[in-house]
Chains A and B, each alone.
Chain A
Amino acid sequence: MRLRRAALPYLLILPAVLLELLVHLVPMLIGIGMSFLKLTQFFLRNWSAAPFAGLDNYAVAVDFDSAVGRSLLHSFLVTVVFTVLTVGLSWLFGICGAVLMQGSFRGRAVLRALFLVPYALPVYAGVITWSFLLQRDSGLVNHVLVDQLHLFGERPFWLIGSNSFWSLIVVCVWRSWPFAFLVLMAGLQNIPGDLYEAAAIDGAGWGRRLRAVTLPMLRPVNQVLVLVLFLWTFNDFNTPYVLFGKSAPQDADLISIHIYQSSFVTWNFGSGSAMSVLLLLFLLVVTAVYLVATSRRRSDA
């Protein structure tokens, strides 16, 4: 009886553990293993026969004089700039929306629900709509910018060339700011009202209350929110894939798309796995540094 009781929690988590092993942990280990193999299309059906490649796949990926390494580095840098801008803007929009939503006014509930729609929409439905908006000849964006505001003489392309980078940021911010808004609103609700009362009695105005009460109290929420936004944005595959189709433009070549294309175009899974492992290492290091840095600041304060 006591043994059965001790075993019960393990039985309860067993299905979850098995599934996580099958779909996440084992594939991850296999992926690390694959990155050391010369795993080209000839070995796909019988990949145990693929010859050992040592660190060759890694050497090619980080050799920035080779075409493979250079394009990987380019894709990495594009992703870094893209992520910083997208996360920054999403957070900014989210905090503006959440702070301005405080208090009660007419239409608050409706507005709040409408703001959340882009987050609730299936990715492909929202992003396909944006690709229609961004069409050169029949899209809304050029209609407004060129026909109505006369900002450009010539109709710009938004889905190819260097503009595609900015299009991608706009679409990603549109999709992810409602999540920041949702989380920050929940965070604001947990700030006790007497803190504001006390600050007001001390003579603090609206702006001072925002800086002295709201933002410091939101720090734990922000710590998690920014990390989650960073990881989602950095790994984003869905948005560029739906927005640009099979061939992403050079200027919007995010790292997930890059690895996907270089794996499935050349069927060189060994090299694709090596790139994925490098990506994972980078994310782990950034996450660790971020957690250490933000936690220390929190305990100093």
Chain B
Amino acid sequence: MRDPRWLPWARWAGLGLLGLFTLTPLYVMLTSAIKPLQDVQGDFHWIPTRITLRPFADMWRTVPLARYFANSLIVASVAALVSVLIAIFAAYAISRFRFPGRRIFSVTVLSTQMFPGILFLLPLFMIYVNLGTALGVELYASRTGLIITYLTFSLPFSIWMLAGYFDSIPTALDEAAQVDGSGPIGALLRVVLPAATPGIVAVAIYAFMTAWGEVLFASVMTDESSRTLAVGLQGYATENDVYWNQIMAASLVVSVPVVAGFLLLQRYLVQGLTAGAVK
């Protein structure tokens, strides 16, 4: 089977155009973050003439970026952790047990992810506000409320992916563990979890990314003290000046951890995607 002679040319032309489209904004983000303010306010220049690291220092002072950063970090980490724990149990139930309601559960959980966020936003806002007044639980404008909201966002896909992972682990392994005297939970902890570690890490990264990037609920459900990066980054635009170099520097800093995590684990994410899709 031979590829036609024009294929390498078509490949470089096609991939080159896609690359140009994909990478230009990233190039601008990188180069504008090291320009002084005057150089991002006037005409655009491809090559930075004066290079400075000032934006990376100034960005913490223009807006309380450290606080937004801490809020995002707490919300996303706790949401990811709890979501993965809950997903492990649910996925284990779906993968290893046949029980009435199993199908309804998986279909319902998956379909909630398809519904428009705007549909839940107003009622959830009302629920949180009223629960707060009725019970004295601060859910509205608190990190706890955001954590609860976000962990359900990643839950459906996490359960789906992990169930696919667990399916690929031979049941003979957990049966052997059960013969040795462990119950089903012991088999989950001692056999299934160690074998599924890459999948679990991939799901945790996915859950973290989901919470780290969410904008809609963050814009309504937070106040100044619980504000996350998703809303906070818009604070660099004041009435007189837009600190584009600081915005780009801040965008860069908040992106690096998630992009690195994603690229390191994309192989497992893809495996999970296809495992789920083949089922």
Task: Give chain A's interface residues, CB within 8 Å of chain B.
Answer: 5-6, 8-10, 12-13, 15-17, 19-20, 22-28, 30-31, 34, 44-45, 47, 93, 96-97, 100-101, 103, 105, 111, 113-126, 128-130, 132-133, 135, 137-140, 142-143, 147, 174, 177-178, 182-183, 185-187, 189-190, 196-197, 200, 205-206, 220-221, 224, 231, 234-235, 237-238, 241-242, 245, 256, 259-260, 263-264, 269, 272-273, 276-277, 279-280, 283, 287
Contacts and interface: CB of A to CB of B under 8 A. Distances in A.
B119 A31 contact: yes
B130 interface: yes
Query: Chain B interface residue count: which class?
Result: 35 or more
A113 B101 CA distance: 40
Interface of B: 1, 3-4, 7-8, 10-11, 14-15, 18-19, 21-26, 28-29, 32, 40-46, 86-87, 89-90, 92-94, 97, 99, 101-102, 105, 108-109, 112, 114-124, 126-127, 129-130, 133, 148-149, 151-152, 155-156, 159, 184, 209, 212-216, 219-220, 229-230, 233-234, 244, 247-248, 251-252, 254-255, 258-259, 262-263, 266, 270, 273-274, 277-278
Contact of B123 (A31, A140, A197, A224): A31
A30 B127 contact: yes
A19 B273 contact: no
A122 B258 contact: yes
A17 B105 contact: yes
9 contacts: A20-B112, A23-B152, A122-B213, A124-B229, A138-B40, A138-B41, A197-B1, A272-B122, A276-B119
B126 to A, nearest CB: 6
A144 to B, nearest CB: 8
A26 B274 contact: no
Nearest to A173: B21
B120 to A, nearest CB: 4
Contact of B109 (A20, A118, A221): A20
A31 B234 CA distance: 30
Contacts of A186: 270, 273-274, 277
B263 A120 contact: yes
A279 B28 contact: no
B116 A279 contact: yes
B87 A16 contact: yes
Contacts of A190: 274, 278
Nearest to A113: B263
Residue with the greatest number of chain B CB neighbours at <10 A, chosen from A132, A133, A182: A132
Given A16-B87, A138-B42, A115 B18 contact: yes
B175 to A, nearest CB: 14
Contacts of B277: 186, 220-221, 224
